[in-house]
Copies of this chain bind each other. A is one copy, B any other.
Amino acid sequence: MDAALRQRIYEFIEQKGLRKTAQRDAIIAAAFGTHEHFTAEALLEMSKKIEPSVSRATVYRTLPLLVECGVLKELDLGREQKVYDPNFVDHPHHNHLICVDCDKIVEFEDQNIELLEECISRRLGFSPSSKMVRIEAKCDELKRLGECKNRGKGK
């Protein structure tokens, strides 16, 4: 895990008058030990491997903290469970493309869409800050075979 990121998080925690605990440490290490998206449940499992005393409640209480800190992004990918993305620290402007069938996710950055969403937002009287785009489409496998092997499994 990146040292600068670690410092940023712990400064945030200190500034808010919060405390450094073994459980939080484990959750933070787990969250940024991967570049994959994860759910609260998955983060719980990863955290427990580092510090077995981590409970589900503490994971659910820590996630909003990391989102507020700006290091984790809560994604709404149209699933039952919320998904968290640790990659916004490195790529603050990326967007997501999701297969409508198997939930496969691809991250992408695109100057044109960046510009276009700004134009559209302005035209409709919205401020172009804090924008995000999500494209749903059919993955290649779905297109070729009519369905995905990993249907519903996500990625």
Contacts and interface: CB of A to CB of B under 8 A. Distances in A.
A135 B117 contact: yes
Contact of A137 (B76, B106, B129, B136): B129
Interface stretch (A11-19, A34-42, A108-116): A108-116
Nearest to A139: B126
A100 interface: yes
Contact of A126 (B121, B126, B129, B137): B137
Given A113-B120, A116-B112, A136 B130 contact: yes
Interface in A112-155: 112-113, 116-117, 120-121, 124-140, 142-143
Nearest to A76: B78
A99 interface: yes
A121 to B, nearest CB: 5
A92 to B, nearest CB: 15
A145 B7 CA distance: 33
A140 B127 contact: yes
Contacts of A113: 113, 116-117, 120
Contacts of A66: none
Nearest to A144: B127
A38 to B, nearest CB: 18
Interface of A: 76, 78, 97, 99-100, 106, 108, 110, 112-113, 116-117, 120-121, 124-140, 142-143
